[in-house]
Structure 1
């Protein structure tokens, strides 16, 4: 698949310290769409200076930000990755290649390079939900991560509606319900390059994300 067919959506809230480096590592030819989800720092200015398309989404929530990015994308394949520098945008090409091989959705399984990269309280909710989706829908997944690739028309057909942290869970849930072929590949996961995590950086943030996961599964 040609890079000119791919857009990467990067939801951000106060990621001015890391977004420039993330954008510098996006593969050549891939369109970068940074969704500023209520930042009060220079995230948008830094992203624009680095050549990204900047979209503003005032409604807080991961799902809101991704939805705004998908609406702005005009390329047939859309990817997502966080803007904190914890994952390498170059690995998106590995996921896109799985679409060429017949996958409907390719997702990254985070492989931390150090114990402090992904605290136990942060990974627990993801592991439990992934186990449920494996049992219920036979999806070959072990993580509910932020790096993924899917054709835009396929994504729009799933009608994912969650506006908060439950978005990735609902995406996988609907993929299972529709019988889509889901492929998981390992991706490197490192300590964020700047700022503080809104989810895994605290027990409270992880608990809030777990709550959103469970709401989707009801």
Structure 2
């Protein structure tokens, strides 16, 4: 069984469809990070394990979910809970880690429709990815919110960021540790109706993410 950590804040509209598409052998762990729309109850009603995290921030939610994952089976996936990714693609993402070909597999978003990935967010992502390739030598093109890694390996890295800088800190630290990192193309869909990205949905959200990630690069 491979655990799937789903950091969640106000994703009640997306969760039923997302959880229904979870492939066999993949167990969802919904990490409720201050939802006010009943996301936790919806997730439980659709068979997911739910944990609540009071500390705000994407990194805080992911870290709590990883701690809650099964240490025996070992591999854990992380993906957004807003319906923008297809859970059916998780086996392809996790494959390189499960077979020992990589320590970290991360998704490279491929939009399925116009407007899925706003220009301001795509541009910020491209700049950060370029800086990552230049400074850390990690050959990726997307600081994306979907990945697969062995639970114990991830905890060993000792990541500290609990905000939007978490994905970038993971890639930098993995590069410094000499990890084999592979990038897998994944479809990037419009979010479920009634949800909005906390990062790409607004220019302000993107600026906050860039601020957090820039702080990580400066360390």
TM, length-normalised to structure 1: 0.96
The DSSP-based 3-state class of the residue aligned with 1:117 is: coil
Structure 2 residues without counterparts, runs of 5 or longer: none
The DSSP-based 3-state class of the residue aligned with 2:95 is: helix
Deviation at 1:192, TM superposition (A): 0.1
Q: Would you say the 8 A contact 1:92–1:147 is kept in 2?
A: no
Deviation at 1:28, TM superposition (A): 1.2
Alignment match, 1:204: 204
Find runs of 4+ consecutive structure 1 residues off by over 6 angstroms.
none
The DSSP-based 3-state class of the residue aligned with 2:161 is: coil
Structure 1 residues without counterparts, runs of 5 or longer: none
Deviation at 1:159, TM superposition (A): 0.7
Alignment of 1:24-103 (within 5 A): 24-74=20-70, 75-99=73-97, 100-103=99-102
Deviation digits for residues 145-200 of structure 1, max 9, x if unmatched? 11100001110111111000000000001001101000001100011012122111
The DSSP-based 3-state class of the residue aligned with 2:18 is: helix
- What do you get for the CA RMSD once the two structures are aligned? 0.9
Q: Distance in 1 between matches of 2:87 and 2:12?
A: 17
Deviation digits for residues 49-92 of structure 1, max 9, x if unmatched? 11100000011100000011011111411100101101101111
The DSSP-based 3-state class of the residue aligned with 1:51 is: coil
TM, length-normalised to structure 2: 0.95
